[in-house]
Amino acid sequence: MIPFKVAGRLLEIQRVLMRHGLDEFIVTTHLYRPLRFLSLLQPSTWFTRRLGGSRAERLRLALEELGPIFIKFGQTLSTRRDLLPDDIADELVKLQDRVPPFGEAEARRTIEEALGASVESLFESFETTPLAAASIAQVHGAVLKDGREVVVKVLRPGMRDIIRRDLEVLYALARLVHRYLPDAERLRPVEVVGEYDKTIMDELDLLREAANAAQLRRNFTDSPLLYVPEVFFDLTRRNVMVMERIRGVQISDMTRLKAQNVDIQKLAEHGVQIFFTQMLHHNFFHADMHPGNIFVLTEDPANPRYAAIDFGIIGSLEPRDLEYLAGNFMAFFDRDYRRIAELHIESGWVPAGTRVNEFESAIRTVCEPIFQKPINEISFGVVLLRLFETARRFKMTVQPQLVLLQKTLLNIEGLGRDLYPQLDLWKTAQPLLRDWFRERTRPRTLWRESKRHLPEVIESLRALPPLVRRMVREAESRTPLLGSPSTDLGPLLATLEAQARRRDRTLIALGAILAGLLWWIGTIGMDVPVAGFGLLAVATGTLYLILRR
């Protein structure tokens, strides 16, 4: 049963779509169909005059009226020109930074209440007309008392209540899907909405965004690829943020970029490099990379540099997920379809009983025709959609933690294709992936990881002796106190003895690994042969454990 509040919001959505002449969306939306007869009873259906304008303009106006969650949906769609008609893509671009602003008086009141002082005492000058207005906030230009140019980001009033209301609608629809759709266990709709809930509510905290910006700025210190503006934390609160002003060309302004002789191909390739650097080396990526949030610094047109803003949505992955994902990318570039199938099974993304050869064949069927096309006709978005369709046959479970990364990758590809249609995503990304895998196997990296985990290893080894003693006592207490074992107990005792021998060998192997690590630490800086004894002990113990497994 749909809750009354949710049903009311669904009717409101339906009414807005009809008022803007978008009835076709209602007719084809199955979840609204049970409520459609109610809309026919509303006076607005019969007497409200539909607005003029093209279908694309009416769609944009409807999304603006429905609120921030729908605006963000439109922003995401606007980056995928390969999946949309041109007229709709052109109109949805306006949702990136041209949403109707809220009033100057409200903006000033929010700033003064948050910072506890008047705008005049905080800034040398303050621009009353917003530089840009988006779904969550708007920004005003200002100058600090020391003369530095800044932008002041102000959260829209009442955003939390508005977003929470629409999240309740999404949760209700997700529960309906989970209850009635046969494929719901695989799609995990409630978990996906939960991940989106966490993401968008984090975006409403500008202190969190400021911290994200500071971390990203550290990650790209002195980078020729990306510049992140400075945040002024003493002038930042949960609903107000002050940041260094960027003087660059918006990345969607191709006319100005070409007029300044910017190397467009290099700019597109840099965008891909920035994404994979953030994902692989930092595991901390800007996840809202639509054109409204990206500028280009053109002081050196032959080597253009990105400048990013709006850090409310930042993504990161668990190391295990990152490793499997990178392995999938690399196997895809190498056309190693069997490895893709194995990684999906090892990661638990598809059921453990899946036959590798059948899954491999299905993946090959999707991917192989793609590699026969010219590079400018290959869309990673289409590849993903087809792979998801294939994975459905094998009951692949949706991974909510990867949804944000997939969205970001689609945005990056859409942005790159807008800049340079011949962008070779594979050629640009492949060296970065190979470098990452090589870096992971270098002695320096292995040493760093070993040193980081050494306290955990030592603590585990300390816990082993009492655990072994307890196991021995339990085994002895279960051994019958008879003069001689019966024939029936012979196999059981033999099994217990074999287990004891294996346990002893495992303890010896673990001891060798620990001793080898300690030897290696103690011989750093000495001759290589001396340190080699420690490495040999570690390798021998590890090899035994691997073979035993």
Q: Are residues 423 and 288 in the same domain?
A: yes
Q: Give yes or no for a contact between 27 and 17, defined as CB atoms under 8 angstroms apart.
A: no
Q: Which residue has the higher pLDDT, 318 or 518?
A: 318
Mean of pLDDT values over 154-158 = 89
Q: Give yes or no for a contact between 229 and 309, defined as CB atoms under 8 angstroms apart.
A: yes
Whether residue 186 lies inside any domain: the answer is yes
Mean of pLDDT values over 165-174 = 79
Phi, psi of 129 (to 5 degrees): -85, 125
| Listed residues 440, 463, 485: the one ending a domain | 440
Categorise residue 103: left if φ over 0, alpha if ψ from -120 to 50, beta otherwise: beta
Whether residue 227 lies inside any domain: the answer is no
What's residue 451's pLDDT? 63
Whether residue 414 lies inside any domain: the answer is yes
Whether residue 214 lies inside any domain: the answer is no
Residue 116 has pLDDT above 90, yes or no: yes
Q: Which of 39-53, 244-258, 421-435 has the highest mean pLDDT?
A: 244-258
* pLDDT tens digits, one per residue of 396-423: 766 666 667 777 777 777 777 778 877 7
What's residue 446's pLDDT? 61
Average pLDDT, the chain: 76
Tell me what percent of the residues of the chain surpass a pLDDT of 70: 65
List the Cα angle 114/117/123 in 5-degree steps. 100
pLDDT band at 472 (very low <50, low <70, confident <90, very high): low
Whether residue 15 lies inside any domain: the answer is yes
Residue 147 has pLDDT above 80, yes or no: yes
Number of domains in the chain: 4
| Listed residues 393, 419, 440: the one ending a domain | 440
Q: Are residues 280 and 180 in the same domain?
A: no
* pLDDT tens digits, one per residue of 277-294: 988 888 898 888 777 889
Mean of pLDDT values over 381-390 = 66
What is the domain extent for residue 163? 159-199
Q: Are residues 528 and 385 in the same domain?
A: no
Phi, psi of 334 (to 5 degrees): -85, 0
Buried b / exposed e over 514-527, threshold 16 CB at 10 Å, is bebbebbeebeeee
What's residue 183's pLDDT? 63
Whether residue 108 lies inside any domain: the answer is no
Residue 217 has pLDDT above 50, yes or no: yes
In angstroms, the CA 526 to CA 529 distance is 9
Q: Are residues 77 and 189 in the same domain?
A: no
Hey, what are 248's tokens? 């660059």
Buried b / exposed e over 271-282, threshold 16 CB at 10 Å, is bbbbbbbbbbee
* pLDDT tens digits, one per residue of 21-78: 775 555 544 445 555 555 555 555 544 445 567 777 888 888 877 777 777 777 666 6
In angstroms, the CA 50 to CA 65 distance is 14
288 is catalytic: yes
DSSP letter string over 35-88?
Answer: GHHHHHTSHHHHHSPPP-S-HHHHHHHHHHHH-HHHHHHHHHHHT-GGGS-HHH
Hey, what are 330's tokens? 């690399």
Choosing from 82, 90, 183, 288, which is the catalytic residue? Answer: 288
State how beta strands 226-227 and 305-308 pair: parallel
Q: Are residues 324 and 304 in the same domain?
A: yes
What's residue 31's pLDDT? 47
Burial degree of 500 (CB within 10 A; 0-12, 13-18, 19+): middle
What's residue 187's pLDDT? 64
Categorise residue 76: left if φ over 0, alpha if ψ from -120 to 50, beta otherwise: alpha
